[in-house]
């Protein structure tokens, strides 16, 4: 008998992954395939061919089937993908050449122009800023365009023949009006007045869908691509960040999904619209349309990792030797690291006003505190403190923060969650699904879509609560430690204030 379950697809920047889960969302098999950037572009330009995503989908599905022991009965399909890309298609549904990706920097002036005009944060990576650039720099392509979507939306179109998109990914194309949970019509009119392009932006954008709503069904082309029967329901395609929120079971206002890696991202579920513009905060939506405020820190764990690896090499080992030796010492270090402070700015940090990198440092060394544990802990704290600085923009507007759900590199040492809980003064939890990533979030969206496809009703946040892990690790803030970290944080703020002078002395 075939195993019933769900497929989750994630089209990332470097490759595509696909998972199959059983009905309880346990992962039974995976498949993946890589693709490259378009070669020969100038620095800061990043493009990929939509056809490469299509090919990768077929290859990943073949690998998935090879890794499964039994036949599968797919109940629904979920899709996630890298946000903010600009995928253009003509009236026949064929792509109009390479897609420009989230990391392409060519339209930074357009993002700034729209931010000033809208009084809404329009980062350079938002898709509509890319389209404004296209209308000015690729006029012939702009004239041919009849549809615009994201990588996830493109895959959804290939599978269903429909131009719609999950509201979270749609919010990465153009701002969403929280009163209508659709594109902001007043801002659309302003955009068209600015662009003066060959077609209204509203005509190009995909229709907005929320979690559980109709994302189409697998058509004959999609069935051939996946080797599955036609008619399987497809969840509205989402961006990687909303899918990651789903995978972290983030649904209620005040919950924060916090991912630590080479950069740090904290996505907070809001209870209302953010007012004004902050360099530190970007905005999109959760899969059900709740507003999400994203604090992004460019300087993540790279500085800490560099210090750890330095100690690893000093003892004649490698990266792993450094972590094995130093992390236990970090966990034993006092909150004040013996008086040590660090700045992690190996790169710029726009959200807190650091315009260039190269000022990473350790300060306050003396014979008593010069230990690997203190050095590495101060490096980690500097990144956590930067995240807190960025998050204080939300605090000033009174947004709730009830708990942090941790994912990313720090989960390899779960005990570090206690430090995060003490610095922010709220509980921190790790889920046993923390390593499954956005593909698991896409499978979760597929399960919710199957429920509504069968005529059941349900609230998205309650649905997520149903899947809360019984095996989660939870850290409660310690009042004594909270007070100690608060004192260190205030010292750190003074050091950040001195960073421009330090930068001037170094450069």
SS (H, E, C) 353-403: CECCCCCCEEECCCCCCCCHHHHHHHHHHHHHHHHHHHHHHHHHCCCCCCE
Instruction: Give me the residue label for tokens 């890319």.
Output: 130
List beta partners, residue 297: 264
Residues 6 or more apart whose Cβ sits within 8 Å of residue 492: 341, 381, 382, 385
Sheet containing 3-11: give its strands across.
27-34, 15-22, 3-11, 72-81, 238-239
3-248 and 297-430+477-506 have identical folds: yes
pLDDT of residue 433: 56
- Half-sphere exposure of residue 80, counting CA atoms within 13 Å on the CB side? 30
d(CA 111, CA 499): 27
**CA 286/CA 17 separation, integer angstroms:** 22
What pLDDT is stored for residue 65 in this prediction? 94
What whole-number distance in Å separates Cα of residue 129 and Cα of residue 124?
Answer: 6
| Tokens 């499954």 sit on residue | 436
| Measured CA distances, 227 to 31, 217, 252 (Å) | 14, 14, 37
SS3 breakdown of the chain: % helix, strand, coil, rounded to 5?
Answer: 40, 20, 35
Q: Select from 263, 296, 291 the least CA-distant residue to 279.
A: 296
Q: Residue 382: which of 250, 489, 237, 253 has the closest Cα?
A: 489
- Longest C-alpha distance within the chain, in Å? 71
CATH class in words for 3-248: alpha beta
Tracing tokens 């691509």 back to the chain, one arrives at 225
Cα-Cα end-to-end distance for the chain: 68
Other Cβ atoms closer than 10 A to 378: 30
3-state secondary structure (DSSP) of residue 311: helix
Domain 297-430+477-506: give its CATH code: 3.30.420.40
Q: Which residue in 14, 37, 42 sits closest to 98, CA to CA?
A: 37
pLDDT of residue 219: 98
pLDDT of the chain, 507 residues: tens digit per residue: 899 999 999 999 999 999 999 999 999 999 999 999 999 999 989 999 999 999 999 999 999 999 998 899 999 999 999 999 999 999 999 999 999 999 898 999 999 999 999 999 999 899 999 999 999 999 999 999 999 999 999 999 999 999 999 999 999 999 999 999 999 999 999 999 999 877 899 999 999 999 999 999 999 999 999 999 999 999 999 999 999 899 888 899 999 999 888 889 899 999 999 999 998 899 999 999 999 999 999 899 899 989 988 888 887 776 677 788 889 999 999 999 999 999 999 999 988 889 889 999 999 999 999 999 999 999 999 999 999 999 999 999 999 999 999 877 777 888 999 999 999 999 999 876 555 578 999 999 999 999 999 999 889 999 998 887 666 789 999 999 999 999 999 999 999 999 999 999 988
Find out whether 23 and 94 touch, Cβ atoms under 8 Å.
no
DSSP per-residue letters across 28-58: EEEEEEE--PPTTPPTT--EE-HHHHHHHHH
Q: pLDDT value at position 470? A: 62
pLDDT at residue number 183: 98
Instruction: Give the separation between CA 181 and CA 274, rounded to whole angstroms.
Output: 15
Structural domain boundaries of the chain? 3-248, 297-430+477-506
Contacting residues for 140 by C-beta, under 8 A, at least 6 apart: none
Residue 398, burial from CB neighbour count under 10 angstroms (0-12, 13-18, 19+): exposed
Q: At what angle do helices 302-314 and 372-396 cross, to 10 degrees?
A: 180
Query: Residue 462's Cα: distance from chain center in Å?
Result: 22
Core vs surface per residue 226-253: b (16+ CB within 10 A) or e:
bebeeebbbbbbbbbbbbbbbbbbbbbb
Q: What phi, psi does 164 have (nearest 5°)?
A: -135, 170
What's the CA gap between 476 and 377, in Å, rounded? 20
Q: Any idea what the Cα angle at residue 263 is, between residues 262 and 265, rounded to 5°?
A: 140
Beta bridge pairs of residue 259: 265, 407
The predicted model scores a pTM of: 0.89
């Amino acid at each position: 008998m075939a195993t019933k379950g769900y497929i989750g697809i994630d089209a990332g920047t470097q490759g595509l992954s696909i998972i199959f889960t059983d009905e309880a969302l346990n992962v039974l098999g995976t498949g993946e395939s890589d693709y490259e950037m378009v070669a020969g572009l100038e620095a800061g330009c990043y493009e990929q061919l939509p056809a490469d995503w299509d090919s990768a989908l077929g290859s990943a599905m073949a690998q998935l089937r090879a890794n499964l022991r039994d036949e599968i009965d797919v109940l629904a399909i979920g899709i996630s993908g890298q946000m903010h890309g600009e995928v253009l298609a003509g009236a026949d549904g064929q792509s109009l050449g390479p897609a420009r990706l989230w990391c392409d920097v060519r339209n930074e002036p357009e993002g700034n122009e729209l931010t000033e005009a809208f009084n809404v944060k329009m980062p350079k990576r938002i898709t509509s800023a890319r389209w404004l650039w296209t209308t000015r720099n690729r006029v012939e392509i702009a004239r041919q365009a009849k549809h615009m979507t994201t990588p996830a939306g493109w895959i959804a179109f290939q599978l269903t023949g429909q131009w719609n998109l999950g509201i979270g990914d749609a919010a990465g194309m153009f701002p969403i009006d929280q009163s209508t949970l659709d594109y902001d019509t007043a801002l659309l009119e302003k955009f068209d007045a600015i662009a003066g392009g060959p077609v209204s932006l509203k005509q190009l954008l995909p229709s907005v869908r929320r979690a559980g709503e109709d994302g189409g069904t697998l058509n004959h082309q999609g069935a051939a691509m996946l080797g599955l029967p036609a008619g399987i329901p497809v969840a509205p395609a989402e961006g990687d960040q909303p899918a990651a929120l789903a995978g972290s079971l983030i649904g209620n206002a005040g919950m924060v999904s916090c991912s630590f890696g080479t950069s740090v991202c904290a996505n907070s579920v809001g209870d209302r619209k953010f007012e004004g513009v902050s360099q530190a905060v970007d905005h999109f939506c959760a899969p059900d349309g709740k507003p999400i405020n994203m604090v992004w820190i460019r300087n993540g764990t790279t500085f800490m990792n560099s210090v750890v690896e330095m100690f690893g090499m000093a003892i004649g080992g490698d990266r792993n030797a450094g972590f094995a030796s130093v992390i236990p010492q970090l966990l034993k270090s006092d909150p004040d690291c013996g008086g040590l402070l660090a700045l992690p700015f190996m790169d710029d940090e726009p959200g807190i006003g650091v315009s260039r990198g190269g000022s990473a440092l350790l300060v306050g060394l003396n014979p008593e505190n010069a230990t690997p544990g203190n050095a590495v802990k101060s490096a980690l704290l500097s990144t956590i403190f930067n995240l807190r600085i960025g998050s204080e923009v939300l605090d000033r507007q009174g947004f709730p923060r009830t708990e942090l759900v941790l994912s990313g590199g720090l989960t390899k040492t779960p005990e570090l969650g206690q430090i995060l809980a003490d610095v922010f003064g709220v509980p921190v939890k790790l889920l046993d699904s923390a390593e499954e990533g956005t593909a698991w979030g896409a499978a979760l969206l597929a399960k919710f879509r199957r429920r509504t496809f069968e005529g059941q009703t349900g609230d998205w946040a309650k649905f997520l609560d149903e899947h809360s892990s019984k095996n989660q690790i939870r850290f409660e803030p310690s009042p004594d430690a909270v007070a100690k970290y608060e004192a260190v944080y205030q010292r750190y703020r003074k050091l950040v204030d001195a960073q421009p002078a330090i930068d001037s002395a170094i450069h």
